[in-house]
Structures are given as C-alpha cells and as structure tokens.
Chains A and B, each alone.
Chain A
C-alpha cells in the first residue's frame, strides 16, 4: 500500500521560531490533508492541498504532487501550536480512504 512518511518525528521550538514539516508519499494521490491534533485528541483540519500552495494566517502548505511531497510551514510559532501534526493522503483510485503518516510531535516552549 501507499507509504506516508513524515519528518521530523519530534520538534522542539522556542516561541516565535519558524519551522517546516515534511510529508513524503509513495504514489499518486487525489487528496492530501494536513491536520493538527490537539491535546484532547481532536483532529483539526489545517489544509486540503492535493497540489499547489495555500496560506492561512501563520500557516502555509505546499504540495508538489509530481515529486510526491508536501511541506507545512509554521511561522512565529506559539505555545498553542503544540501538538501532533499529521499528513494524510488518499490514493488515486483509492476511494477517498485516508492513509495517515506517523505524525510530527511539536512542542513550542516559552
């Protein structure tokens, strides 16, 4: 099946720092989503981004479908950004079933 790899697995930042999270996937996809899982377990939708670039406030994401990777940028990080960030993909022809990466655990410290 499709492989989804995220890096780094863990990241510690000082408040105000910038970071880049990466997601590599092994096959063509219909859909790619980035989520933030908060401490209560809720998955918050950040981006639906099968290709191209999107921005939402301090967050932005870029997917290069032909090279099978996506990047999530967090600028001016805040303590509330802490949590786990997941990339998930829906394989082309796979019927909208998401395969999740293993996540990046982010901790933002004062």
Chain B
C-alpha cells in the first residue's frame, strides 16, 4: 500500500513564526505536491516537485516555499506565518509511470494565532 505521512495532524503557531510541514512517501514516487483546503474555496495547489531539488509554483504559492532534498521527503515552509494561512494542508505523491494516480497524506490542520 502507498503510504504518505505528514509530520503533524494538528499544529498551532503564532503569527510571525517560521513553520515547517513535513511530508514523507514510501513508494519511490517522483512527483510530490502540497495543497491547502479551505471552506468555500476547495483544494488548491501550492507547490509541486517532479524530482529532487526541483520545485514549481502552483496556483497559490505566495507566502510559502518548499524544499525537496531527498526523493521521499517534501517540506512546505511558511517563512513568517500569518493568520490567513490557517488551513488544512494536504500532501500528495504520484509516480511518473503509466498511472498518474495521486495519493494523499492524512493532512495537517494548522492554526495561526
């Protein structure tokens, strides 16, 4: 079974803090993604990566950065957390083979106060 894990289920941070959200997948997938989910706005793509040390902006990259130093790990970084970044963050991975099926982690519910 594909397994995507995220470092925390719930996280509370203060405005201005630097926040790291970690995602690890165990299926040797090339592609990894970060989405956020907000009521009324659905799921939106923040950043994605097709390979180690590669990253591309998604639809809403402002206020975020990412790091992919190892194939299995993709980190989302909030350089200076703000209250409008309170959200559910979901990580996903997929292979570059014949199937592009994406698999999601359990999510991190981040609250910035």
Which chain A residues have a beta carbon within 8 Å of chain B's beta carbons? 30-31, 33, 35, 40-43, 45, 48, 86, 88, 90, 95-98, 100-103
Contact = CB atoms under 8 A, between A and B. Distances in A.
A42 B91 CA distance: 11
**What interface size band does chain B fall in?**
20 to 34
Contacts, number: 53
Interface in B3-40: 31, 33, 37
Contacts of A98: 33, 43, 45, 92, 102
Contact of A43 (B42, B58, B104): B104
Interface string B41-66: 01111001010000010100000000
Interface of B: 31, 33, 37, 42-45, 48, 50, 56, 58, 88, 90, 92, 94, 96, 99-104, 106-107, 109
Interface centre among B31, B33, B45, B102 (most CB of A within 10 A): B102
16 contacts: A30-B100, A33-B102, A35-B104, A41-B88, A42-B107, A43-B90, A48-B99, A48-B101, A95-B50, A96-B48, A97-B48, A98-B102, A100-B42, A101-B42, A102-B42, A103-B42
